[in-house]
Amino acid sequence: MSRRFVPDPRWALVPILCLTLPGCSQGSFSASVNNGNGTVNVFLTDAPLDLSGVTSVNVTLTGVVLFPESTETTGGMGSLTASVDPMTPVVIVSHPSTFDLLTLTGGATTLLGTDEVPAGKYARIRLEVSSAELVYQDGTVAPLKIEAGKVDVPIQFDVTQDQTTGVVLDFDAAASVQVNNTGNEQLILRPVVTPKSIQ
């Protein structure tokens, strides 16, 4: 005569307790929910520059990249903590464009790039700089040595589905253009870029 196994009813409580007790995780990662796409416009502006005889500060950017906000997650049994990006970085500009920073003073702005990106939270924007030069009143052009080709600007903003978000970055030419006093007084560019506003 076969015997049928009858489960102990007390075991039915285990899944409920595992859902309610801390440290009983299944090791899954929590991530921001990505609901559709929104549009991001990244603008550039500049503060006044006081360099005698300079008529233009031309900077060529080859890339604008948005980085999503990381989320802190807990692994199995609450013992492991990891940082993961719910979304991968989003490239909205991947071709060279040259901007004269001196035309962007007094509140003027120019559009660096625009694109549809996954909705969610973003934490920083990277600008990739390939070259820069000063143009003087007599037409002389002085190339600037690039000290840092990539500039990460920490700025937190949300992109909402079917909405447009505008981000304005201040590329401070006055703080970025410096003279190398240790060598032949070569002009160098150490990009100083700060968040200006979110629209």
pTM: 0.71
CA of 62: how far to CAs of 9, 25, 94, 99, 161, in Å? 65, 44, 6, 11, 27
- 160-177 pLDDT per residue, tens: 999 999 999 999 888 888
- Among the residue ranges 55-64, 149-158, 181-190, the one predicted with the least confidence is 181-190
- 177-187 pLDDT per residue, tens: 887 655 566 78
Ranges of each domain in the chain: 40-198
The proportion of the chain whose per-residue pLDDT surpasses 70, expressed as a percent, equals 68
